[in-house]
Amino acid sequence: MLWLQLTFTGLQVGALYALTAAGFSLIFGATRVFHFAHGAAFVLAAYVFYWAETTGLGMAAGIVLAALAAMAFGVAMDRLVYAPIQRHEGSFFTVFVASFGIGIAVQNVLGMVFGRSFVTISTGLSRSVKLMDGVYVSPLAWIAVACAGLFFVALLLFLNRTHVGMALRALADSPELIRAYGLDPRRLSSIAFALGSLLVVPGAVITALGSGLNPTLGNHVMLISLAATIVGGIGSIGGALVAGFILGLAENLALVVFESQWTEAVTFAILFLVILLRPAGLFGRHATR
């Protein structure tokens, strides 16, 4: 039964990776900005939710505030950090370093405000319920998988059925064409950041309720998001989602075979294999030259 338990656990973890990676992929796919501070948006949303919960505002208000905080952070990063750098024709590397620096700064500010130790919210949602002999699943696991499915469908509908969504997809291919159609690439870029940052919220809330928080949490989230984005295919939101689940499952199922300390290595072994065998990722488009 161990493998079945680990499959359930892998699906829960994978759902969180998938949503966070889809957000990163949406931002990178539309704007070509390596938004390393995406992990900071995750941890910021998680701490805002934690604050709302511990001050008695309640879970619903906490989720709304976390969503607003994550989206505001994403838009602020786009308008106040990336746009000025791009206006001065800063390189890809300059943008990366700025994003990395903001990520570290957010981590430290959260440490100053909330303390640097581990914080947690006590809730019955994180307590596992016995499904069958040797298999326990918490309500949070079902919520995580359901959120991943809902957000993915909603995102696909938005990108394929709305004018803004189609413009976002076009933005990645040709900003000049966007301007020719009278659309504002800067506004579209902010929408991409707002939406991409919104996608971290389910994962952030579930992490706050389930495994607990500390300010350094964003680093791991960003690392996995990056791996899932590359494995799924850069710019492919569906690919990032599938890759998130693959990595979550692999990380957990590896425990059947390997010592627990090697599970993270399994994630990056998959990344390495994909880069070697399919450099464009599982669902990425091959560049033609």
Partner 1 sequence: MKKGRFASAVAAATLCIAVAGTAIGSAHAEDLKIGALFPLSGPNSAYGDIFASGANLAAQHVNADNMLSGRLTIEYEDSQALPQPAVVGMTKLTEVSQVPYVLSAFTGVSKAISTLAQRSETVAVNGGGVGPDLAKLGPYFWNVIPLANLEVRAMVPYLADQGLKKIALVYVDDPLGQSILDELKATLPDVGGELVDAMSVPTNTQNFSGIAAKVRAANADVVYIASYGAQQVQIAKQLRDNGVEAQFASYSGFSVPEAMKLPEADGLLFTTQAVDYTSSDPVTKRFVTDYEAAHDRMPSAYVANYYNAVRLFALLAHALEEKGEPVTGANLLAERKATKSFDLVGGTVSFQENGTLLAPIQVNRVEKGAPVALTTVDIQ
| Footprint on this chain of partner 1 (rule: CB under 8 A) | 1-2, 5-6, 9-10, 12-13, 108, 111, 115-118, 120, 122, 126-128, 130, 134, 136, 138, 210-212, 214, 216-217, 219-220, 251-252, 255, 259-261, 263-264
Instruction: Convert 114-124 to b/e letters by CB count within 10 Å (16 or more is b).
Output: beeeebebeee
Cβ-contact 215, 35 below 8 angstroms: no
State in angstroms the smallest separation of the CB of 218 from partner 1.
11
CA angle 263, 266, 271 (to 5 degrees): 140
Give CA separation, 156 vs 22, 84, 250, in Å: 11, 31, 26
Q: Which two tokens stand for residue 35?
A: 């938004």
**Cα–Cα distance between 52 and 46 in angstroms, integer?**
10
C-beta closer to partner 1: residue 245 or 283 = 245
State in angstroms the smallest separation of the CB of 120 from partner 1.
6
State in angstroms the smallest separation of the CB of 127 from partner 1.
6
State in angstroms the smallest separation of the CB of 250 from partner 1.
11
C-beta closer to partner 1: residue 111 or 238 = 111
**Cα–Cα distance between 158 and 8 in angstroms, integer?**
29
**Cα–Cα distance between 216 and 200 in angstroms, integer?**
16
CB atoms within 10 A of CB 217: 22
Q: Which two tokens stand for residue 210?
A: 């389930």
State in angstroms the smallest separation of the CB of 19 from partner 1.
15
C-beta closer to partner 1: residue 84 or 115 = 115
C-beta closer to partner 1: residue 51 or 283 = 51
C-beta closer to partner 1: residue 162 or 216 = 216
